[in-house]
Amino acid sequence: MGLYSCMLFLHVSSAICLFVGMGIWLFGITAIARATRVEQVRTIADLMLMARLVVPVSAFLVIIAGLTMALTAWGLQTSWIAVALGGLIFIGPIGTWLIDPKVRSIAAFAHTLPDGSLPSSLAARTQDGVLRIALHTTTALLFAIIFLMTTKPLLTSAIGAMLIAACLGVASALPFVRARGAGASERSNQHEDDRA
């Protein structure tokens, strides 16, 4: 078994782990947005925190194995490899500086509250539209990178695939964000009726 075969196994295995982690985050943000009690948010947020260890390690191994294979067999000048690598470089900071801090913030805040009904301050964090859009978009971009790896398109097609994936990611998040806005409006109206 040669180096390329070993790196291919590591690359595919790490990609699977990366998608599992992203799946946990997507499941978590959906479940957390439906939670009605603090203890539910706390449990789900703790599960999401476990994924924060899987995602960066998997992403790092995907990049290392991918670069090794590219240098061994393809070269970094190959258009689809350059676009895929650019996509991973774009995705990394979103996970590190946007998604992870927001998940940690939800978990930390939930752990400061007693069991009981969800206060509006925590509910606002659990239904964060930016977090939802970031998760959907990064997941869509990861699927686009898989598309590039399997079809190996030319530069314009590779860039087009990444742009289409980004648009689909944002579009798939918008119904959830709109539902959140409608729910917040209903809760606000209900509070006003209760005061009256």
**Which of 100, 21, 120, 118 is closest to 62 using CA atoms?**
21
Cα dihedral across residues 63, 64, 69, 70: positive or negative: positive
Q: Is the residue at 48 inside a domain?
A: yes
Q: How far is CA 192 from the centre of its chain?
A: 36
Q: Is the residue at 196 inside a domain?
A: no
Q: Is the residue at 191 inside a domain?
A: no
Q: Which ranges of the chain have pLDDT less than 70? A: 181-196
Cα separation, 36 vs 132, in Å, equals 18
pLDDT of residue 188: 43
Q: Is the residue at 189 inside a domain?
A: no
pLDDT of residue 75: 80
Kindly report the pTM of this predicted structure.
0.85
pLDDT of residue 194: 45
**Which of 160, 6, 139, 155 is closest to 73 using CA atoms?**
6
Q: Is the residue at 193 inside a domain?
A: no
Q: Is the residue at 148 inside a domain?
A: yes
pLDDT of residue 191: 41
Q: Is the residue at 195 inside a domain?
A: no
**Tally of structural domains, the chain:** 1
Q: What is the average pLDDT value for the chain, to the nearest integer?
A: 88
Instruction: Provide the domain limits for residue 119.
Output: 3-181
Q: Is the residue at 186 inside a domain?
A: no
Cα separation, 72 vs 8, in Å, equals 11
- pLDDT tens sequence across 132-150: 999 999 999 999 999 999 9
